[in-house]
Amino acid sequence: MSLSGVSATALSLATDVRSGTIKATEVIDAHLAAIAALDGELNAFVHVLDGAAREAAVAVDRRVEAGEDPGPLAGVPVAVKDNLCLRGAPTTCGSRILEGWSPPYSATVLERLVDAGAILVGKTNMDEFAMGSSTETSVYGPTRNPHDLSRVPGGSSGGSAAAVAAGLAPLALGSDTGGSIRQPAAFCGVVGVKPTYGTVSRFGLVAFASSLDQIGPFARNVADAALLFDVIAGHDPLDSTSLDRPLVQVGPCLADGVAGMRVGVLAELVDGVDADVAARVHEAAEALAAAGAIVEELSVPEVRYGLPAYYLIAPAEASSNLSRYDGVRYGLRVEASDVAAMNSATRAAGFGPEVKRRIMLGTYALSAGYYEAYYGQAMKVRTVIVDAFAAAYRGVDVLLGATTPTTAFPIGAKTGDPLSMYLSDVCTIPTNLAGHAAMSVPFGTGAGGLPVGVQVLAPALGELQMFRVASVLEAAAPPTPAPSPPPQGSGGGVR
Amino acid sequence: MTREDAAYVARLARIDLTADELDLYAGQLAAVLDHAAQVAAVDTSGVAPTAHPIPLSNVLRPDEPRGSLDRGEVLAQAPAVEDGRFRVPRIMGEAP
């Protein structure tokens, strides 16, 4: 199998491995070769699991030879964000404070992947503790956008998005707290899904903001994203926020179309974004109308309060969650004369600037005298946003908008001004506050030929209609260009 | 947020910051808080707070013994260990 093999879809790879047409070892070797050739430029991976991946592939091939079915992801390489615990493998969250740490247990999603026959190919780069929108705050340096190496891939799951876009893996997992799957998916020209809160177990996901975090898929097409979603979704007794109710498999319904479906183009997610991005959203709405959907424009003014509410709620939860990094049980310790001094010296040396800022912001929002005005008020505003979405969804089945206000920005453009970086999440944050589902689908290009993502939003457990809309959009979308090969890479024409 | 506020918050959060970091973060956090203060413009009288998007309560399971993490594997990850426990520097002012 040549490097061109890495353009293969997850569905076709799994089908061919299950039928014995190709071997899982050939599939994994092709992807490991692509990683070796290209990741020096991209920096999408912080840890490649070469040995374990090859062993797992051999085991899959043995099962096929023995007449067994290894599962729906048989032999499919999956890249996973480095905030997902994998027993015995480094898990750093892009932070110095977890350098050298290997978790004593695995995340439920990773066990589900392995049970479905998938091959975990490596841990991907991310903003430190998922705090960022560009994958520039990682202690391992920035990941580069495969479409333009001078630009960011988005974040915080930028390594996963770049790996899928460049053909280093057909599938990847990320986590989305305020847009960390959808925004990098849009910037890298791939599909990214933020499932309904509670549909995918968070057990083994290193916590950032627990009421907002959700794990979800990256793929190069909607059917592959559905395949991965159907494997990872489902109740897990180890996550007390996991929804214990039957979920509908989305894969079999992708071809059902959108005839008669009611689609609202959300003004707050179109007005104010760059003109090239807004134009693609309007074209996407026209495509849905042409496919039989009933499209209307509507406004939910309350979602404008999503960003300010989020930047109180998420840091508040983070400041509490990250108190566990105290130099006592795992990770870095900087010795000092007493425990308090050791804690403070360890955290000063182990956390990067963005994590320090968010912890301080959250600590401030929760501190005596400010709690009611900041955190308390933000939680009430969250209710206002939830109610406003509920009212909108009484009239429409899904909402449509931009995923991001701009296309991918240059590396270094926003690192000096945290607020400007935060504003790049303005279109994605409201969904997290409401606990709803949303996904980004590539839809043509903007200025400079960079990918644009259109966002489909659905109410809680609305994955079925969301994926059906995404499928129609994908069929109607102008082509997304192949990533330009890295100038010094030896594997040109990755796709 | 003043420089003094930043120093107070850093102390609460147990992060040692240099004088330069305090100056930098105080300015940056003041800008973020200015933006976040927009939440004050929303009329929330009579509105209940949402701490969690999907209301679930009293998630229970049968109280049955089951396996847990291996102590040796967990302690192998600790910065310092003594007699099967995590070892930390002194907590009180004087050694026991």
Omega prior to A156 cis, within 30 of 0:
yes
Q: What are phi and psi of A265, to 5 degrees?
A: -85, 115
B94 pLDDT higher than 70: no
Residue A425 lies in a domain: yes
Nearest CA distance, A167 vs chain B (angstrom): 35
In a domain, A327, yes or no: no
The domain segmentation of chain B, as residue ranges, is 3-40
Residues 16-75 of B with CB under 8 A from A: 16-17, 21, 25, 28-29, 31-33, 35-42, 44, 47-54, 56, 59, 61, 69-70, 73-74
Q: Is residue A21 part of a domain?
A: yes
Q: Is residue A486 one of the residues assigned to a domain?
A: no
Predicted pLDDT at A289: 98
- Provide the pLDDT for residue B81: 97
Is B44 in Cβ contact with A418 (below 8 Å)?
no
Q: pLDDT (tens digit, 0 to 9) for every residue of chain A, 495 residues total? A: 333 348 999 999 999 999 999 999 999 999 999 999 999 999 999 999 999 999 999 999 999 999 999 999 999 999 999 999 999 999 999 999 999 899 999 999 999 999 999 999 999 999 999 999 999 999 999 999 999 999 999 999 999 999 999 999 999 999 999 999 999 999 999 999 999 999 999 999 999 999 999 999 999 999 999 999 999 999 999 999 999 988 889 999 999 999 999 999 999 999 999 999 999 999 999 999 999 999 999 999 999 999 999 999 999 999 999 999 999 999 999 999 999 999 999 999 999 999 999 999 999 999 999 999 999 999 999 999 999 999 999 999 999 999 999 999 999 999 999 999 999 999 999 999 999 999 999 999 998 899 999 999 999 999 999 999 999 999 999 987 788 654 444 333 333
Report the C-alpha gap between A85 and A108 in whole angstroms. 9
Output the pLDDT for position B93: 66
Surface-to-core class of residue A274, CB atoms within 10 Å of its CB (0-12 exposed, 13-18 middle, 19+ buried): middle
User: Is residue A28 included in any domain, yes or no?
Assistant: yes
In the structure encoding, which two tokens stand for residue B41, read together?
Answer: 């413009």
Determine if the pTM surpasses 0.90: yes
Q: Tell me, what CATH number does A405's domain have?
A: 3.90.1300.10
Chain B residues lying within 8 Å of A376, measured CB to CB = 49
Domain containing A185 equals 3-303+383-476
Q: Is residue A364 part of a domain?
A: no
Amino acid at A218: F
Question: Residue A222 domain-assigned?
Answer: yes
pLDDT at position B90 is 85
- Average the pLDDT over B65-70 and give the result: 92
Kindly determine whether residue A383 and residue B90, on different chains, have CB atoms separated by under 8 Å.
Answer: no
Based on the structure, what is the number of domains in chain A?
A: 1
Residues of B in contact with A195 (CB under 8 A): none
Q: In chain A, which residue's Cα lies nearest the Cα of B51?
A: A379
Residue A120 lies in a domain: yes
pLDDT given for residue B8 in this prediction: 96
pLDDT grade, residue B95 (50/70/90)?
low
Q: Does B7 touch chain A (CB under 8 A)?
A: no
Looking at domain B3-40, which CATH architecture does it have? Orthogonal Bundle (1.10)
Q: How far is residue A283 from each of residues A107, A143, A452, measured CA to CA in Å?
A: 40, 31, 12
- pLDDT number for residue A5: 41
> Which of A269, A273, A471, A285 is closest to A389 using CA atoms?
A269
**What whole-number distance in Å separates Cα of residue B19 and Cα of residue A494?**
48
pLDDT for the residue numbered A230: 98
Active site residue A414: no
Rounded Cα distance, A13 and A68, in Å: 17
User: Looking at residues B63-88, what average pLDDT do you find?
Assistant: 94
Q: Is A180 a catalytic residue?
A: yes
